[in-house]
């Protein structure tokens, strides 16, 4: 059983640019959640995708958007990057049917906006 993977590991962007982060969910999982973790803080929920549709969203502006593909992998897109977007972006997969409720996290993508 493969774990959750994310790419790239690190990324440096300039304010105003756009970025795409990628996540491959764990085998057998159908739900992907994205979290933003600023330095020294706990992760904050961005949004969740279930069967290719957004299934809930946290307090993030529309310039944060996502996709989920038929193979349940996912992308997080951020437009018009701001300095405060610098953070560790975590993807977590889960299987929201049956008796599995825990989320399994990937290693994260460290985004630096200059």
Partner 1 sequence: AQSVTQLDSQVPVFEEAPVELRCNYSSSVSVYLFWYVQYPNQGLQLLLKYLSGSTLVKGINGFEAEFNKSQTSFHLRKPSVHISDTAEYFCPPRGKSSGSARQLTFGSGTQLTVLP
The one among 18, 27, 41, 114 contacting partner 1 by CB under 8 A:
41
The one among 21, 25, 47, 72 contacting partner 1 by CB under 8 A:
47
Q: How far is CA 14 from CA 11, 23, 53, 72, in A?
A: 10, 22, 30, 30
Closest CA to 30 of 75, 97, 76: 97
The one among 21, 106, 111, 113 contacting partner 1 by CB under 8 A:
106
Residue 56 binds partner 1 (CB under 8 A): yes
Closest CA to 60 of 89, 24, 103: 89
Q: Which is nearer to partner 1, 35 or 64 (CB)?
A: 35
Phi, psi torsion values for 66, nearest 5 degrees: -150, 175
Q: Which chain residues interact with partner 1 by CB under 8 A?
A: 4, 6, 31, 33, 35, 41-45, 47-48, 55-58, 90, 92, 94, 96, 101-108, 110
């Amino acid at each position: 059983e493969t774990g959750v993977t994310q790419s790239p590991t690190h990324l440096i962007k300039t304010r105003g640019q756009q970025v795409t982060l990628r996540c491959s969910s764990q085998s057998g999982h159908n739900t992907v959640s994205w979290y933003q973790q600023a330095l020294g803080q706990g992760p904050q929920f961005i949004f969740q995708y279930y069967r290719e549709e957004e299934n809930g969203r946290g307090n993030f502006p529309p310039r944060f958007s996502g996709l989920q593909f038929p193979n349940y992998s996912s992308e997080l897109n951020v437009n018009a990057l701001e300095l405060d977007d610098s953070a560790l972006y975590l993807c977590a997969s889960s299987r929201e049917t049956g008796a599995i409720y825990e989320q399994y996290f990937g290693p994260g993508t460290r985004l630096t906006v200059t």
